[in-house]
Amino acid sequence: GAGVSQSPRYKVAKRGQDVALRCDPISGHVSLFWYQQALGQGPEFLTYFQNEAQLDKSGLPSDRFFAERPEGSVSTLKIQRTQQEDSAVYLCASSLAGEDEQYFGPGTRLTVT
């Protein structure tokens, strides 16, 4: 069956550009999570959705980061005015419910030059 997919897999942006990263969760999964993983580090929580409601955005590092999931399925993570420190792999995960096992996508590797 289809797992979590993310696009693009790789993105290179010039400093100051806006980027949009897409996540397609497993069909029927209520919960969706975004994580940021810097090179050589573990993933760090960014934000969490239950259906279309963003229940926790405490991990978003600045107001340049914005996530949405308008129809409770596909989610987009947008980063405005990208900075070099935004370079990382952005991982999306989904689960049937908030406390169930999370299934991760392959991630989008963002490089800001």
Partner 1 sequence: GESVGLHLPTLSVQEGDNSIINCAYSNSASDYFIWYKQESGKGPQFIIDIRSNMDKRQGQRVTVLLNKTVKHLSLQIAATQPGDSAVYFCAENPNNDMRFGAGTRLTVKP
Q: Does 48 bind partner 1 (CB under 8 A)?
A: yes
Which of the ranges 14-22, 68-76, 77-85, 90-98 carries the binding residues for partner 1, by CB under 8 A? 90-98
Out of 27, 70, 84, 99, point to the residue binding partner 1 (CB under 8 A). 99
C-alpha distances in angstroms, 97 versus 4, 26, 29? 15, 12, 7
Q: Does 111 bind partner 1 (CB under 8 A)?
A: no
Q: Does 25 bind partner 1 (CB under 8 A)?
A: no
Which CB atom, from 85 or from 100, has the smaller least distance to partner 1?
A: 100
Site track 55-84 with partner 1 (rule: CB under 8 A), x = hit: xx-xx-------------------------
Q: Does 88 bind partner 1 (CB under 8 A)?
A: no
Residues 44, 110: Cα–Cα separation, whole Å: 15
Which residue, 77, 79, 73, 59, is CA-closest to 15?
79
Q: Does 43 bind partner 1 (CB under 8 A)?
A: yes
Number of residues that bind partner 1 (CB under 8 A): 26
Q: Does 31 bind partner 1 (CB under 8 A)?
A: yes
Question: At residue 99, what is the residue type?
Answer: E
Residues 43, 106: Cα–Cα separation, whole Å: 12
The encoded tokens of residue 84 equal 């070099």
Residues 49, 25: Cα–Cα separation, whole Å: 11
